[in-house]
Amino acid sequence: MKAMRFEVDGPMEWADAPEPVAGEGEVVVEIAAAAVNRADLMQRAGKYPPPAGESEVLGLECSGTIVALGDGVEGWSIGDEVCALLAGGGYAERVAVPAAQLLPVPEGMTLVEAAALPEAVCTVWSAIRDLPEPERGELALVHGGSGGMGTMAIQLLRALGWRVAATASARHRELCASLGAEIVIDYRSEDFVEVVLDATHGRGAGFVLDVIGASYLDRNLEALALDGAMTIIAVQGGTKAEVDLRHLMQRRVTLRAMTLRARPRTGDRGSKADVVRQAREVVWPLIAAGEVQPVIGSSVPMLEAERAHELMGSPAAPGGKLLLVR
């Protein structure tokens, strides 16, 4: 088998790798496509190692066809077309996946397109699933609205009844608006706090989904309404910040931070299996109804993964997901 190998901060190479074997409760998937995530760039830079015991090959999601079943697998068959949430291993010809992390390819969607779904759907769903039902006209603020997570968040929040504001660059304003963001804020030239407070008559956003982290923390809190909630799912703007706890207490803020990759494979609450199950129950019907769709900005041959990483890390990065296609 071939897989993409790399040295920290070095080039990537399509090289021989051990053949994956389906263990208890696992399947082997012949990969058709994988998606590039910013976490891949962080891992390649030595800043985001895989959980213990998981593949060191890059790639947190893929789509493909089941070619082998391990003991104890039920509900799936060899030949089924699937997409999968991974802890690693997507930049390869084949990967072993816990069956509980598989999702069916939605009807009407190609096998390649489905590779854009698992990580974005599961991350965003796990960040918003505990939110109360929004009050009429309540606003959610999504940072990084044109990215893989942001494009999914805009659609999911809209489907759940939220008004949505999103930050993005000027060139991605139309993309965010087309997905349902009624307010698109140019993060380079506009103050998102002022825009949100103006749009809500001073009340603030009921929810903030943040991918920036430390550098936005204080301003996000200013933009939140009383009893508002914020979930941090990435830290592109740093990991360390100071916060006045009295401010949180006085505004009755719920502050959460989470990652998907480090979650256990199984468990009743918060495991990857739990998140995948809920995503299939709640989000897959929204996809079938056309309310939520993957946004694919570009597709690149998997052998050109190096170029894909350069594109994602550049100012010219496309909106939506970037796919590696075999």
Q: Which domains does the chain have, with CATH numbers?
A: 2-117+294-325 (3.90.180.10), 122-257 (3.40.50.720)
What is the per-residue pLDDT across 167-191, written as a single tens digit (0 to 9) for each?
999 999 999 999 999 999 999 999 9
The sheet carrying 224-232 orders its strands as 183-186, 163-168, 139-142, 205-210, 224-232, 254-257
Q: How confident is the model at residue 315 (pLDDT cuts 50, 70, 90)?
A: confident
**pLDDT tens digits, one per residue of 113-165:** 999 999 999 999 999 999 999 999 999 999 999 999 999 999 999 999 999 99
CA dist 98 and 109 (Å) reads: 23
pLDDT tens column, 83-118: 999 999 999 999 999 999 999 999 999 999 999 999
Distance CA 67, CA 84 (A): 14
Number of H helices, E strands in the chain: 10, 15
Residue 18 pLDDT level (bands cut at 50, 70, 90):
very high
Question: Cα(98)–Cα(70) distance, rounded to whole angstroms?
Answer: 9
In this prediction, residues 64-93 reach a mean pLDDT of: 98
Mean pLDDT of 230-244: 93
Beta bridge partners of 37: none
User: Among the residues of the chain, which ranges form H helices?
Assistant: 38-44, 118-128, 148-159, 173-178, 192-199, 217-223, 245-251, 272-278, 284-288, 305-312
pLDDT reported for residue 270: 87
Nearest one of 114, 151, 124 to 233, comparing CA atoms = 124
pLDDT of residue 247: 85
Average pLDDT of the chain? 96
DSSP, collapsed to helix, strand or coil, labels residue 142 as: strand
Model pLDDT, residue 146: 97
